[in-house]
Structures are given as structure tokens and as C-alpha cells.
Copies of this chain bind each other. A is one copy, B any other.
Amino acid sequence: MDANLAFDALADPIRREILGVLAAEDECSAGAIADRITSVGRSAVSMHLKVLRVAGLVSERREGRFRFYSIDSAGSARDVLSLLHNVFRAGLQSVGGAVPDDELDGRRAVHNPGTP
């Protein structure tokens, strides 16, 4: 059961921002993702991608010197959704497709204390 890793991966705002980028672009190279995530450097993005991949939330495709990442809907995301549905079963009829895209990068908390 790797839903633990998935919950942990989903906890970080930057990782959710990366997921938002991938959800919008379908497939992205690591460099292209790092370009869109301006708040941290490329190394950090690379590590976040590793966390997401190990957690089973994104999948990787290698092509030459590039690595393309994409959302893995068949991975542990299913387990996460199942768990949440089991806990919050009441009053959860339709929750699909109601949130605008830029809500995904929900960075607002104690991380990123002002871009220097």
C-alpha cells in the first residue's frame, strides 16, 4: 500500500504545483517543468519529481537525453481517492470538475516566504 507515500507527496505545495503543470500540459520534460516552477531551483524540482514518481502519481518516459513526465491516473491516485471516499462518504455525490485550473498551485503557506 503506497497511499502513504502518495499522501505525503501530495502534502507539498510545490509538488501539487508540478501536478497542476502536468495536468495542463499532459506531458512535460523535467526542464520544462523546472522552468514553470520559478520558486525553487532545478535540483529541487528533480527531487520532487522523484518523490511523485516513487509515490506512483506520475510516470516517466525517457527519450534520448530528455525525460518526459505525465500524470499517472492508474497509480496510487486511485487508492488515495478510495480512502478519502471511504472516510468522507456522506454528502459526496458529485465532486468532479468544479475547480479552476490555477487553484492547483495552491502555494500560500509558510513555504516561499517572499521571492528574494
Interface of A is mostly: helix
Whether B20 contacts A11 by the Cβ 8 Å rule is: no
Complex-state Cα separation, A99 to B13, whole angstroms: 27
When chains A and B are docked, how far (Å) is the Cα of A87 from the Cα of B74?
Answer: 12
Say yes or no: A83 contacts B71, CB within 8 Å: no
Q: Which of A58-116 contact B (CB under 8 A)?
A: 71, 73-74, 77-92, 95-99, 101, 103-104, 106-109
Query: A95 to B73, Cβ gap below 8 A?
Result: no
| A1-B106 Cα distance, complex, nearest whole Å | 8
- Is the beta-carbon distance between B82 and A98 smaller than 8 angstroms? yes
* From B13, B74, B85, B88, contact of A4 by CB (8 A): B13
Contacts of A73 in B (CB 8 A): 88-92
CA A91 – CA B89 in complex, angstroms?
A: 20
A10 in the interface (beta carbon within 8 A): yes
Query: How far apart are the CA atoms of A97 and B96 in the complex, in Å?
Result: 16
A104 touches B86 (CB 8 A): yes
A10 in contact with B10 (CB, 8 Å): yes
Q: Is the CB of A92 within 8 A of B106?
A: no
